[in-house]
């Protein structure tokens, strides 16, 4: 599904894309650029979690609002910071933005989050979570919980 350039700004529902990032340099820029095509996305926030490379500069050059942690505080803290920044930028007289959490290394495939956003906009779901369809095996606590829930 393709959307005309600028469709994000005229969409009746607003979305803040929050991208947590640590030492991802060039990869984050491609993800930020792809987010522009997601309907409703009118705010792109990258939380640079204490990177020692050019992550923040690359994200800013791609059009994101960049918030920087001076030291690495972890993914959860970066997400919390991004959500707080999105809330601070909401209009006091309007509804809050929806929040879209994205990994920094999605690149052009970030636009595939359109399906998640559209499901929320259509009130088909209250929350949508994407699980990568690659053959790669994901390990750790989070994927184990998701596998049990599915």
Cα separation, 118 vs 14, whole angstroms: 12
Would the pLDDT of 62 be above 70? yes
Task: Tell me if 30 is assigned to some domain.
Answer: yes
Cα separation, 42 vs 141, whole angstroms: 32
CA angle at 38 for the pair 54 and 68, rounded to the nearest 5°: 30
Cα separation, 94 vs 130, whole angstroms: 28
- Contact 39/11 with Cβ under 8 angstroms? yes
Task: Tell me if 2 is assigned to some domain.
Answer: no
Would the pLDDT of 147 be above 90? no
Phi, psi of 132 (to 5 degrees): -55, 140
Cα separation, 71 vs 48, whole angstroms: 9
Give the number of domains in the chain: 1
Task: Tell me if 47 is assigned to some domain.
Answer: yes
Give tens-digit pLDDT for 63-89. 999 999 999 999 999 999 999 999 999
What range defines the domain where residue 134 resides?
A: 7-149
CA angle at 102 for the pair 145 and 90, rounded to the nearest 5°: 115
CB atoms under 10 Å from CB of 28, counted, come to 32
Task: Tell me if 1 is assigned to some domain.
Answer: no
Task: Tell me if 143 is assigned to some domain.
Answer: yes
Give tens-digit pLDDT for 102-129. 999 999 999 999 999 999 999 998 888 8
Give tens-digit pLDDT for 21-52. 999 998 999 999 999 999 999 999 999 999 99
Task: Tell me if 16 is assigned to some domain.
Answer: yes
């Amino acid at each position: 599904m393709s959307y005309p350039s600028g469709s994000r700004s005229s969409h009746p529902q607003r979305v803040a894309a929050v991208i947590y990032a640590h030492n991802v340099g060039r990869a984050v820029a491609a993800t930020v650029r792809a987010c522009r095509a997601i309907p409703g996305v009118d705010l792109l926030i990258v939380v640079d979690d204490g990177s020692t490379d050019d992550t923040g500069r690359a994200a800013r050059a791609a059009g994101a609002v960049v918030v920087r942690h001076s030291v690495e505080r972890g993914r959860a803290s970066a997400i919390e910071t991004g959500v707080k920044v999105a809330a601070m930028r909401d209009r006091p007289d309007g509804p809050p933005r929806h929040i879209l959490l994205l990994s920094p290394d999605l690149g052009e495939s970030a636009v595939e989050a359109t399906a998640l956003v559209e499901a929320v906009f259509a009130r088909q779901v209250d929350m949508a979570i994407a699980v990568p369809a690659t053959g790669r095996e994901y390990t750790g606590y989070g994927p184990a919980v998701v596998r049990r829930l599915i």
